[in-house]
Structure 1
């Protein structure tokens, strides 16, 4: 019966703090730990809290253990459930469908989070900048922007990430091994979703459109940042001078003005730049191309 509620969209049990709905009362009780801060179980490595002892298998994130293997191309997973959800990528099965836009998902939790796109619900808010998120995990990841603390680091270059899966994908930059390749230009990608997004460069597809000026974007995140040009929102502030920005990326670039650290340097004249794009433009002055 609880499972059927996932498909019907019925959530009879509601959190008294934020209004989030659940199909079972036990799920509601476990969820409330997010608001109370009381976690009965903790990871012995990083201290992350959990509502159930079974969730302590999270420690595999630190140990690197991936006992469940995809038979199609060998990708490994920490749990059987994540393997089963992943296999739907190969079968094309999307058993959970949004009643508003008919978009399909491999997991019910993905559908639940997606539905907040339509409702505008942002249950979780960053205490530093006030930015709202649809998931508590996204708030925790976002806060690394403010703290500068990255729980996962690339052993090759030291770049920090908020998720272990992001580190694994990033390492393809160093190994040169790409699982997915664009048939138009040969560019390699670490996931099928990234390849799909990249292909919009060739097809010209811009599925996300601004309601104010009708400008189209490849990514929903690009549209969100663009809309701040219309509404004047500047959620990211420089701690040195107070100047505000529409995105954390623009803030990080700006901070080079204060620190004197330029992440991209010209190999010919050693001039520094805040982005690889500006470096490439500058280098054309040397090459004449």
Structure 2
């Protein structure tokens, strides 16, 4: 017993001699309560393979250190006296024993392995119950609940929970885009953005709507789409109260109130609220007409033009007036027509206060004040405020008389002449 006591003292186990002897006599383990969890040998631990001859009675290498002999003797003593091991105790408590699957040969490695197990998921968040192996991860996680953002951008002042978030953000200021797509060459600030982009080339749409089956490249696309089914419109305009499903739709709408037109045409300087509007406008300069009618072969700059044109062939007039029953191919024609019944004239001249049903009528009227005459006759050089004025004038040169009297067959250049003539038959 005295030899055992000395050996344990060398290992740094602080026990009084009488207490140690009484523990060994009772068959109890010679560990302090505080070190119990750290000094139990790993359940799956195996001794280091050795070519040395082993003593079958003890089960350790002949050349094992005194400390290892002592540890083995204590465990053999516990088993001899019928005391359960830690693994058996865990099973009785219905706890899953720690199995790391590692073969650890030396005592220091075993203790380190056990310490890792004891400290595993040691840090638990009081707010959400999430556990962490490392203190640094635990501290970073707590910032989510506290709202702490210690990493601040020197350029714009934006703050982040994590340093990695700041590092990624700073690339927006430096213009650095280290993640490049091998398919199209497009570059990105973040690796996650590249990963999402690559789904376009792969045709991968892993996010599917359970309501209608529509699939999306990105989770955000699905989230925005689902609001169509739920009717949720969380983005409301502070100016007029109009609500939208998507934040991008609200941003575009707000430009109506602010008058902001950030997308400018380099050819003519015309500016637009939306990037898509600029793209469509540029086709006027390039002459591109990618939308073709398969009925007659006519081409169009914009898809909406093709859609409206196809109604000529189909005879479809989906916009019907409830007041008079008149139907229209295009929604804008229907809206303009309704103003005839309502008397609404929303377009007012700032110079004289005269109001008009259509914006085009206001534009034409304003030329009277500005003196602008953009429509010029190629035959004689005479200019006009409006296109219809030029069209009517050109009949002087062509001799065209499209307005015919149903009573006598006489023809006229202008509708006003025909109207005046018809009074003679009354």
Q: TM-score range by the shorter chain?
A: 0.3 to 0.5
Q: Which has the larger radius of gyration?
A: 2
TM-score in terms of structure 1 length: 0.47
